[in-house]
Amino acid sequence: MTNANPDIRRLFEPRSVAVVGASQDPEKIGHKILQNIVSSGYRGAIHPINPHGGEILGLPVLPDLAAVPGELDVVCTVVPGRFVFDSVKAAAHRGVKFDLVISSGFSEVGNSEEERRIVAYALAHGMRILGPNIFGLYSAAAPVDITFGPGGIVPGHVAIITQSGALGLAMIGKTAAEHVGISAMVSVGNKADLNEGDLIEYLVEDENTQSILMYIEGVREGARLVETLRQATRKKPIVVIKSGRSRRGAAAAASHTGSLAGSDDVFAAVMRQAGVLRAESIKEGFNLCKFLARTSLPKGKNTVIVTNGGGIGVLATDACEKYGVSLLDDTQRLHEIFSPVTPDFGSTKNPIDLTGGATEAQYEGALGAAAASDSIHAVIALYCETAMFDAAKLAPLFAENNTRYLQAGKPIVFSAFGGGSIDANIGRLAEQRVPVFDDVYEAVACLGGLYRHFRHRNTPPLVPEEVDLDLAALDEVIRGARADGRTFLLADEAQRLMRVVGVPMPRSRVAHSLEEAVAIAEEIGYPLVMKVVSRDILHKSDAGGVALDLDNRNEVIDAYQAILRNARAAVPNARITGIEVTEMVRRGLELIIGARRDPGFGPIVMFGLGGIYVEVMKDISFRAVPLNRAETLDMMAEIRAYPLLRGVRGEDPKDIDRVVDAVLRVATVIRRCESITDIEINPLVAYEEGQGVRAVDARVLLAKV
Ligand code: ACO
């Protein structure tokens, strides 16, 4: 394990860097990296390492790391995979803090053992590894560019962490072309040691960084990452682009919960829960991060659309609904603010329609009025090309208003739609980092992202709630199954477990005589179900071993005798342990509660509409554990069938509090009890308020030992 945990600041602000495998050959990666370090204006010490010696780019080449004088914060390893372990070993002995292993040929091609060996050695000597299989790291704070990218990174306020190498390298050029200023760019590659969570701990405190973009393919240490993200998103906006929406892997899982929990559904839910914004594409990710890095947080939710076109105003209104942007609808207030600057035939209802005849002065007036009003917290400024407005004046109008709004701390986005001269204006404005788009949806998506971030910051942090669990009693149930060599619980074990957990199952006991059956029936109350208990009778109904809807003592007596008779006739030598007498579950709303240890995110819970059509309906939602009541209610409210819980068409509302209790209890078990991997209650029948819930069937899977 780690002996020392070097200060992550030294990775981003190294005082010295060595490149092992620096080469004279300008075509080699080891040369390009050295060249980028030199040309990025790095002010610390740079040490090329190569047994051939000599000079590269005017720097004296040292034969090995042992020859480097003074402290050494960062080493970049660019030697063929088979030499990496020895190089890492030398770096660790040299007291290096971080080793950026560029080399490929490890877990990405199945060579996981060598990768583990390298990381274990480094950690045992207090050195951290970035990679392997990375293109490197750029940090504006140093500044230093330790990558083999094209160079010329434009410094700014967006940090990018990418798991994809080639895409990340290409992003370097793209960010420059798209005027996304970069505070840091980190390639995490195989994430054998350092991962997104470690890097975010630095970036969230880095004053250069105003927003963070992550490109993720798969998650390592998901539970820890979520915890880091939860805290980080309270300080800075984080946007994630995730590829790989495959359900493979999940499909093989043994429970509904497993197969429903397609990795992407879980990822999306968990990121939302952690306050991370999800972008569908790199373009959307860039747009969001660029905007979020510059704008200030709104002071409230009232947004106003200012437009010279009715159609584009309606499009923007639709987009606002899609992206969760609230439009100010106080018509009186809007009239007071905008009537002095709106033409008579325009509209002061939101969208504020200046009409196709709008002049530059009217635009200026409307944007000025919105900037000055405390009732307006954000603005969407739209422009459709007309002959009434000199397109050459558009760029200065938008740029000046952008500056005015930035200074006023009021978010604004722009959209302009028209021909070549409009596009040219958009290009010029983008260079000045004005958030302007030809597509109104792109503009509103940026504001929507800001509002999601704003709302997240304004929700109180989650204080987990857990229930007390008798872990010893749980263990006892599990031990029984283990002793039998099983990794699942039988129905009666699952019932016992649910009793310990405190999720109500139908009351039930096994009778061994007629008298006992009657006594149990009287105790539980009617209606009842009776079932034969025999390990030799698998299909109880087919064997006539089940009686439903028993309403009184006489029916219980008749059923007891009939079940024994039928069972003996159907399977003559069956060993009959007794007859189970069970409370008959009334009809109610059928729900499902699932919980599992997700390979990426650790414990998660699922809630949804239950019953036999659960996989067809897929009306489900997910959360990472731990949870509290508020978060559980949020999760429940996400399913389409939620109104059924609140009561529709004159029905009484269901006992939502008891459903929440059941979810929290299941969540606590999956978090606390590591030997349980999956729990599924389906259906959990919910009754009217005050009448509770009943878990009709519970399936529990255990970890393989
Ligand atoms: N110490 C110092 N220098 C050494 C050592 C050592 N122990 N061993 C070898 N070297 C020197 C070599 O002599 C050579 O220098 P030279 O040109 O003076 O002879 C230099 O290190 C490089 O070694 P080469 O054998 O020439 O290796 P090459 O440069 O061709 O490849 C590399 C090395 C780039 C690490 C390669 O093995 C590799 O892994 N490439 C893939 C990198 C990659 O794609 N990473 C993921 C990035 S993200 C993406 O997907 C784009």
Q: Is residue 623 over pLDDT 70?
A: yes
Q: Assign 278 to helix, strand or coil.
A: strand
pLDDT mean over 446-456: 97
| Residue 98 alpha carbon to ligand 1 centre in Å | 18
Helix H or strand E encompassing 608: strand 602-609
Q: What would the pLDDT profile of 595-621 be if each residue is shown by its tens digit? A: 999 877 889 999 999 988 888 888 999
**Rounded (10°) CA dihedral 535, 540, 545, 547:** 130
Kindly report the protein residue whose alpha carbon is nearest to atom 36 of ligand 1: 80
| Residue 185 alpha carbon to ligand 1 centre in Å | 22
Q: What would the pLDDT profile of 328-383 be if each residue is shown by its tens digit? A: 999 999 999 999 989 888 899 999 999 888 888 899 999 999 999 999 999 999 99
What are the backbone angles phi and psi of residue 505, rounded to the nearest 5°? -100, 165
Tally of residues, the chain: 705
Q: Is residue 507 over pLDDT 90?
A: no
Task: Provide the 8-state DSSP code for 253.
Answer: -
According to the model, what pLDDT value does residue 542 have?
A: 87
According to the model, what pLDDT value does residue 1 have?
A: 38
Q: Which of 67-76, 181-190, 249-258, 675-684 has the lowest mean pLDDT?
A: 249-258
Q: What would the pLDDT profile of 629-668 be if each residue is shown by its tens digit? A: 999 999 999 999 999 999 988 889 999 999 999 999 999 9
Q: How far is CA 96 from the centre of its chain?
A: 34
According to the model, what pLDDT value does residue 262 have?
A: 55
Kindly report the protein residue whose alpha carbon is nearest to atom 20 of ligand 1: 21
Q: Which of 35-49, 294-308, 575-589 has the lowest mean pLDDT?
A: 575-589
Q: What would the pLDDT profile of 679-693 be if each residue is shown by its tens digit? A: 999 999 999 999 999
Decide if 436 contacts 414 (C-beta within 8 A): yes
Band of residue 254 on the pLDDT scale cut at 50, 70, 90 = very low
Q: In terms of pTM, does the model score above 0.75?
A: yes
Kindly report the protein residue whose alpha carbon is nearest to atom 25 of ligand 1: 80
Atom of ligand 1 nearest to the CA of 86: 7
Decide if 664 contacts 465 (C-beta within 8 A): yes
Decide if 489 contacts 497 (C-beta within 8 A): yes
Atom of ligand 1 nearest to the CA of 25: 17
| Residue 525 alpha carbon to ligand 1 centre in Å | 78
Q: Is residue 224 over pLDDT 90?
A: no
| Residue 78 alpha carbon to ligand 1 centre in Å | 4
| Residue 25 alpha carbon to ligand 1 centre in Å | 11
The overall average pLDDT reported for the chain is 92
Q: Which of 313-317, 385-389, 472-476, 485-489 has the lowest mean pLDDT?
A: 385-389
Maximum pairwise Cα distance, the chain: 102
Cβ contacts of 91-94, under 8 Å, gap ≥ 24: 91/20, 91/65, 91/122, 91/127, 92/121, 92/122, 92/124, 92/125, 92/126, 92/127, 93/65, 93/66, 93/125, 94/65, 94/66, 94/68
Band of residue 252 on the pLDDT scale cut at 50, 70, 90 = very low
pLDDT mean over 257-284: 81
- Tokens at 116, concatenated: 């583990």
For a ligand 1 pocket test, name from 20, 28, 171 the mutation site with the most ligand atoms within 8 angstroms of its C-beta. 28
pLDDT mean over 512-539: 92
Decide if 335 contacts 360 (C-beta within 8 A): no
| Residue 549 alpha carbon to ligand 1 centre in Å | 76
Query: Above pLDDT 70, what percent of the chain?
Result: 97
Band of residue 541 on the pLDDT scale cut at 50, 70, 90 = confident
Work out whether the CA dihedral 131, 132, 138, 139 comes out positive or negative: positive
| Residue 147 alpha carbon to ligand 1 centre in Å | 13
Kindly report the protein residue whose alpha carbon is nearest to atom 8 of ligand 1: 79
According to the model, what pLDDT value does residue 245 have?
A: 54
Kindly report the protein residue whose alpha carbon is nearest to atom 50 of ligand 1: 165
Q: Assign 14 to helix, strand or coil.
A: coil
According to the model, what pLDDT value does residue 2 have?
A: 41
Q: Is residue 508 over pLDDT 90?
A: no
pLDDT mean over 113-132: 97
Contacts of 679 (CB under 8 A, 6+ apart): 257, 593, 594, 595, 596, 666, 669, 670, 698, 699, 700, 701
Band of residue 106 on the pLDDT scale cut at 50, 70, 90 = very high
pLDDT mean over 31-41: 97
Measure the CA–CA gap between 156 and 179, rounded to whole angstroms.
9
| Residue 71 alpha carbon to ligand 1 centre in Å | 24
For a ligand 1 pocket test, name from 19, 49, 78 the mutation site with the most ligand atoms within 8 angstroms of its C-beta. 78
Band of residue 250 on the pLDDT scale cut at 50, 70, 90 = very low
According to the model, what pLDDT value does residue 255 have?
A: 47
Q: What would the pLDDT profile of 130-188 be if each residue is shown by its tens digit? A: 999 999 999 999 999 999 999 989 999 999 999 988 889 899 988 988 889 999 999 99
Pocket (CB within 6 angstroms of ligand 1):
20-21, 23-25, 28-30, 49-52, 78-81, 83, 87, 102-105, 133-135, 165-166, 169
According to the model, what pLDDT value does residue 261 have?
A: 55
Atom of ligand 1 nearest to the CA of 87: 7
| Residue 192 alpha carbon to ligand 1 centre in Å | 19
For a ligand 1 pocket test, name from 50, 108, 215 the mutation site with the most ligand atoms within 8 angstroms of its C-beta. 50
pLDDT mean over 537-557: 91
Atom of ligand 1 nearest to the CA of 81: 37
Q: What would the pLDDT profile of 89-103 be if each residue is shown by its tens digit? A: 999 999 999 999 999
Identify any residues that bridge with 700 across adjacent strands, giving them in sequence order: 679
Contacts of 113 (CB under 8 A, 6+ apart): none
Atom of ligand 1 nearest to the CA of 102: 45
pLDDT mean over 424-440: 92
Measure the CA–CA gap between 183 and 161, rounded to whole angstroms.
11
Kindly report the protein residue whose alpha carbon is nearest to atom 45 of ligand 1: 133
| Residue 33 alpha carbon to ligand 1 centre in Å | 11
| Residue 80 alpha carbon to ligand 1 centre in Å | 5
Question: ∠78-83-86 over CA atoms, to 5°?
Answer: 105
For a ligand 1 pocket test, name from 23, 75, 148 the mutation site with the most ligand atoms within 8 angstroms of its C-beta. 23
Q: Is residue 588 over pLDDT 60?
A: yes
Measure the CA–CA gap between 363 and 594, rounded to whole angstroms.
54
Secondary structure (DSSP) of 28-74: SHHHHHHHHHHHTT--SEEEEE-TT-SEETTEEPBSSGGG--S---E
* CB-based burial label for 361 (10 Å; 0-12, 13-18, 19+): exposed
According to the model, what pLDDT value does residue 670 have?
A: 96
| Residue 133 alpha carbon to ligand 1 centre in Å | 12
Kindly report the protein residue whose alpha carbon is nearest to atom 31 of ligand 1: 80
Contacts of 322 (CB under 8 A, 6+ apart): 441, 444, 448
Helix intervals (H) in 525-587: 553-570
For a ligand 1 pocket test, name from 25, 27, 29 the mutation site with the most ligand atoms within 8 angstroms of its C-beta. 29
pLDDT mean over 467-488: 92
Kindly report the protein residue whose alpha carbon is nearest to atom 29 of ligand 1: 28
Atom of ligand 1 nearest to the CA of 28: 29
| Residue 217 alpha carbon to ligand 1 centre in Å | 26
Q: Assign 211 to helix, strand or coil.
A: strand
Kindly report the protein residue whose alpha carbon is nearest to atom 48 of ligand 1: 165
Decide if 6 contacts 128 (C-beta within 8 A): yes
| Residue 28 alpha carbon to ligand 1 centre in Å | 7
Nearest residue to 457 via CA among 297, 324, 334: 297
| Residue 29 alpha carbon to ligand 1 centre in Å | 7
| Residue 193 alpha carbon to ligand 1 centre in Å | 21
According to the model, what pLDDT value does residue 385 have?
A: 85
According to the model, what pLDDT value does residue 256 have?
A: 46
Atom of ligand 1 nearest to the CA of 135: 47
